Structure 1
Amino acid sequence: MKFIDEAKIYVKAGDGGNGIATFRREKYIPMGGPNGGDGGRGGSIYVIADQNINTLVDYRYTRKFLGQRGENGGSADCYGKGGDDIVLRMPVGTVITNLLTGEVIADLAHHDDKVLIARGGKGGLGNTHFKSSTNRAPRQCTKGDPGEEFELALELRVLADVGLLGLPNAGKSTLIRAISAARPKVADYPFTTLHPNLGVVRVDTEKSFVVADVPGLIEGAADGAGLGIRFLKHLQRTRLLLHLVDLAPLDPGADPVRDAKAIVGELAKHDPELAAKPRWLVLNKLDLIPEEEREKAIKDFLKAYKKATKYDGPVFPITAISGDGTRPLIFAIQEALEQMAPPEIVEDDDLPAEEA
């Protein structure tokens, strides 16, 4: 299935049915009085988070969703039938935004989250509601209210604890294959990864965390170079970032320090809040460096990198293709995640009554 993480749709809830003005007419009941029924309510539109869906492809080609109109009221105090509701199922992690105002309408962060996004119109009133001691034969009735309508932007942000960050071919996909059961494509050319991949890392029988691998960044990504920064939104829900650096690039003109510094700069340019997340340095592809030169290569890189970026966080030298050094890394990640506060979740019970 094609991975689609953005879509735009138009939704319109059903209009309410009209009320009716009628009077009771029977042979042996003179002056029967008003008996016009109310119109039915229009169908509303809901969205629900479904963990079995992982793409917005259904909303890339079907973009218009119209709720059913309520039926008009009938005589003999018969109320019109309400319109059927529409339920749209979307992946967990979908953020729904009003295109006109920019307001976030819903953030589907958990499985089975259900949100009303367009309310159906109320049905109109029949003339029964207007009778009184002074108005015994009312002829007025009301029309149904129109349903709400919106143009919406859908944006999928994958849910993961740890995000992998780095240049194309830094070894992100190889690392996620080494530490999880995920099998993203791995090849010896840039931009092998074209969409995010998730992997569950099992530390022991009751401890695990989720890693997200996104397409690599290059210098100028914030200005649209390469695949740009459109996939960085998938790292916004993570609690920890792993910055992978290729210590043995094949390009003779490549400079690992300059490239690593450029990635940090692109991150800060795109989203300062994302750049402020905890970020660990992972030095990869040590197997391509002669064993007697590895320690010096690591020391020289760290000296130059820390001077350029003021980095003072953890450093993990690994060889992702063979798995060397990955066990200490995942144990350290698990320990750090346990110490971090879980994402704050606001329940309806915690909100003021008018907001809830």
Structure 2
Amino acid sequence: MDVSFSVWALTILGLSALIAVDFFIGRKPHDVSIKEAGIWTIVWVALAVLFGIGLAMFGTGQASGEFFAGFITEKSLSVDNLFVFVLIMAKFSVPSHLQQRVLLVGVLIALVLRAIFIAAGAAIIASFSWVFYIFGAFLIYTAWKLIQEARSGEEEDDFEENRLLKSVEKKFGVADRYHGTKLFIQNNGKRVMTPLMVVMLAIGMTDILFALDSIPAIFGLTQDPYIVFTANAFALMGLRQLYFLIGGLLRKLVHLSYGLSVILGFIGVKLVLHALHENGVHVPEISIPFSLTVICGVLIITTITSLIASKRQADREAAEAVASGESDKPAEPGTSSGPKGDDKDSIQA
């Protein structure tokens, strides 16, 4: 799609205004309710839908289809990224009223990083068509890794700081507690970081890793930089509210990794076929409507199967708890399994 400089300028101004509104909403640290998160999640999704419809009306149906395919893909990958955000928040014991500030800054960092990555990716693709082979192979490899991790059943319950983050903490020092929204404080005459700054750095560093998956994935659906950028922007802008809305639901999406692996693998194959087609090899190309159908279908199926599996697991654990309670016979009156003082001490401990 041929996008003029004025359209680019208006789009960036519009997105900046939306970001300013989002910042205004979250300027004062507070606990975000489910109602507030739900309302704003609907608002951001509605804005994305309106933008996609606008592309169909003032652009082309092809551009609109590419936007929706890219938006849904980026949104689904962002939901998977929320797992890591949950681990980071838990690792650093971020107070609930400060979590939205952390997420807001994290989203801003992600937008800047992805804008840089998109510009670089578009320049490389324009000069070297063979890069599609690399993108495709990388997505297929990522899909295989996701399946291996899901099949192993290993879940990380903690966030491990990387060497760069540890070196930054060692150089600047870290305060022993949070100081509201302050990022640096004076401690014994030395300027040190607050834990809030450390958390924001951790979120920003993980944003770089997230972009390595998401940018090749969306370039597999469209090579239009304008659509790539806007799809990423709209997918990220509602991420903060989505975190609070489905925070308790994340653990129930047990099959999400399988779904994302299928989507990434599918897009990887699409990229390889596109690269072969560009090099004159007569192979079928996967259309955007078919891609959109596959992506939506996979997400719906994995969400349904995840919720069913989670319910069965909860019912099984409840049944085991009941069975275990029935098998434990109550102690005879006047008897004890140990010294009376042991129970008292254990309770006090």
- State the TM-score bracket (shorter-chain normalisation): under 0.3
Higher RCO, 1 vs 2 (CA within 8 Å, ≥6 residues apart): 2
Q: Per residue, is there more strand in 1 or in 2?
A: 1
Q: Per residue, is there more helix in 1 or in 2?
A: 2
Decide which structure has the larger Cα Rg and report it.
1
TM-score (structure 2 length as normaliser): 0.24
TM-score (structure 1 length as normaliser): 0.23
